[in-house]
Amino acid sequence: NAGVTQTPKFQVLKTGQSMTLQCAQDMNHNSMYWYRQDPGMGLRLIYYSASEGTTDKGEVPNGYNVSRLNKREFSLRLESAAPSQTSVYFCASSERSTGIGSPLHFGNGTRLTVT
């Protein structure tokens, strides 16, 4: 019973490099999310996918792109990494949209450092 699987756990990038964070859930959830967590701040939504085939910007989308590959997988891409993107990234999923009030299930996070 894996829940939400997120890879990699750690990554160091140089400014300008690109990478993709992978996320997969096995709970048949409709909605998936990417958050970033910075010290002293609450989790902030980067992008979300309310259902398969749809994606929408969240609070802090600049510098990121996403793909909802299928119902299970939702990836986050950094095309040209910047030091401001140093953060801990969390993928999450829920059965229904968080606006309706459905519990969130989180991955274990990716600690990204951009030098």
Cβ nearer to other proteins, comparing 1 with 14? 1
CB-nearer residue toward other proteins: 20 or 98: 98
Q: How would you label 60-79 residue by residue, b for 16+ Cβ within 10 Å and e otherwise?
A: bbeebebebeebbbbbbebe
Among 16, 26, 103, 115, the residue binding other proteins under the rule CB under 8 A is 103
List the interface residues with other proteins, window 10-49 (CB under 8 A).
40-45
The contact pattern for other proteins, residues 82-101, with x = CB under 8 A and - = no contact, is ------x-x-x----xxxxx
